[in-house]
């Protein structure tokens, strides 16, 4: 896990704390690493501020990404730390690790790039993949996703990029509506806010955006390709979108996160609200055999919002994670997916809900 320690006055150094469990029990002991911002030095007595940390990992490394600011409102660029996984899992000290910074597309700085997580024992991709939605300095309407590859991460690492066109244009989302308060919930921007997962050759990621006149969450399944052999071995060669669908329309959908299980069945969770529904939490599942661009149903409401949300900015992020790799004896399901997200409670603030999703019968759609 990662979190940021920062000095809002910028008079002392801010840093990343990375905690690595010493075993597979998250309630057990951890090894702690404290790492400073790597790509921006202090200047004029002010230290840089890291923001919105993201974690990804493959067989070789842990990838820590963040957005770096020189002042609380001045964005510098994003940086990616490539950390040696074996040493960290063994609680050994680390130093001299590779760092990438100043990520951009055609000179426009990117932000909030998500390094993918590889969790299946059957997956061993040639390169670590990362994915970015156009945000920040990119003007509306936007099209396309940026797909990256880090190859040979711990010795002579390379970072390469490609752009894959999206079927739908997307723009910065308007504020979401709730009963009696149109456009009153701040839902942020078009970044990929939830964790990206890699499974069986595909990257799974989601954004919330304005799609034409609709406020929607857009979910993507992207297949990257890399060069095999030669001087450019492992560098990104291209990508294609295998699945893209827009969720929402009759209501405002925002902050969706999707994750696959080992078969490629996907669980996704999102927030929604409308002129008749307070900010609520919903989830859904989509089998690997579902027709491209379609959903089996409209999803299930996990928790219905109880009152008008009065804190302006929504709490931002939802999450989904697989529960182990073996059959769950308590449910009889081969894949249990846990999810978390927020809803508006009766005092106008937010509260977190945690739930699980699984296929309880083989004929369940």
pLDDT at position 262: 86
Share of the chain above pLDDT 70, in %: 97
Mean local confidence (pLDDT), 36-52: 94
Residues linked to residue 328 through DSSP beta bridges, in sequence order: 333
Cβ atoms 113, 135 nearer than 8 A: no
pLDDT at 98 over 50: yes
At 249 the pLDDT is 75
State mean pLDDT over 252-280: 93
The pLDDT value recorded for residue 325 is 57
DSSP state string for 15-47: EEEEEEESSS-TTS-EEEEEEE-SS---BTTB-
Task: Reply yes or no on whether the pLDDT at 328 is more than 70.
Answer: no
* CA nearest to 157, candidates 235, 85, 101, 222: 235
Nearest CA to 175 among 186, 161, 164, 165? 186
Quick: pLDDT tens for 53-91: 999 999 999 999 999 999 888 999 999 999 999 999 999
179 versus 44: which is more confidently predicted?
179
323 within 8 A of 309, measured Cβ to Cβ = no
- 3-state DSSP helix/strand/coil % of the chain, to nearest 5: 0, 50, 50
Per-residue pLDDT tens over the stretch 103-139: 999 999 999 999 999 988 889 999 999 999 999 999 9
Q: Which among 87, 65, 97, 93 is positioned nearest to 78, based on CA atoms?
A: 65
Q: Is the pTM of this model over 0.75?
A: yes
Please count the CA atoms within 13 angstroms of the CA of 345 that sit on its side-chain side: 9
> pLDDT digits over 262-272, tens only?
889 999 999 99
Report the pLDDT value the prediction gives residue 324, as an integer from 0 to 100: 65
pLDDT digits (tens, 9 = 90+) for 159-184: 999 999 999 999 999 899 999 999 99
Q: How far is it, in rounded angstroms, from Cα 153 to Cα 307? A: 48
- Flag the least confident range among 34-38, 175-179, 296-300: 296-300
């Amino acid at each position: 896990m990662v979190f940021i320690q920062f000095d809002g006055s910028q008079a002392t150094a801010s840093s990343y704390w990375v905690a690595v469990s010493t075993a597979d029990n998250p309630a057990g002991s951890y090894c702690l690493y404290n790492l400073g911002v790597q790509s921006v030095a202090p200047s004029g007595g002010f230290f840089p501020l890291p923001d919105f940390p993201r974690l990804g990992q493959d067989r070789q490394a842990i990838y820590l990404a963040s957005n770096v600011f020189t002042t609380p409102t001045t964005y510098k660029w994003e940086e990616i730390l490539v950390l040696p996984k074996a040493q960290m899992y063994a609680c050994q000290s680390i130093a001299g690790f590779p760092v990438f910074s100043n990520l951009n597309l055609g000179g426009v700085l990117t932000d909030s790039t998500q390094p993918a997580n590889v969790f299946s024992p059957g997956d061993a991709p040639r390169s670590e993949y990362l994915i970015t939605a156009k945000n920040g300095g990119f003007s509306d309407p936007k099209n396309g996703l940026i797909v990256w590859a880090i190859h040979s991460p711990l010795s002579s690492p390379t970072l390469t990029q490609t752009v894959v066109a999206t079927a739908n244009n997307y723009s910065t989302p308007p504020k979401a509506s709730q009963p009696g308060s149109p456009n009153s919930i701040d839902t942020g921007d078009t970044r990929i806010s939830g964790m990206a997962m890699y499974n069986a050759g595909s990257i799974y990621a989601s954004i919330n955006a304005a799609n034409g006149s609709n406020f929607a969450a857009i979910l993507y399944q992207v297949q990257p390709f890399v060069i095999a052999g030669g001087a450019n071995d492992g560098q990104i060669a291209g990508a294609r979108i295998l699945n893209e669908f827009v969720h929402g329309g009759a209501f405002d959908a925002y902050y969706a996160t999707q994750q696959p299980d080992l078969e490629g069945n996907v669980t996704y969770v999102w927030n929604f609200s409308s002129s008749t529904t307070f900010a609520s939490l919903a989830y859904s599942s989509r089998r690997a055999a579902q027709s491209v661009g379609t959903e089996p149903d409209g999803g299930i409401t996990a928790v219905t919002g109880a009152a008008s949300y009065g804190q302006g900015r929504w709490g931002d992020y939802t999450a989904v994670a697989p529960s182990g790799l073996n059959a769950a004896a308590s449910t009889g399901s081969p894949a249990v997916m846990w999810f978390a997200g927020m809803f508006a409670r009766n005092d106008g603030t937010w509260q977190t809900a945690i739930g699980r999703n699984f296929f309880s019968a083989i004929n369940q759609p």
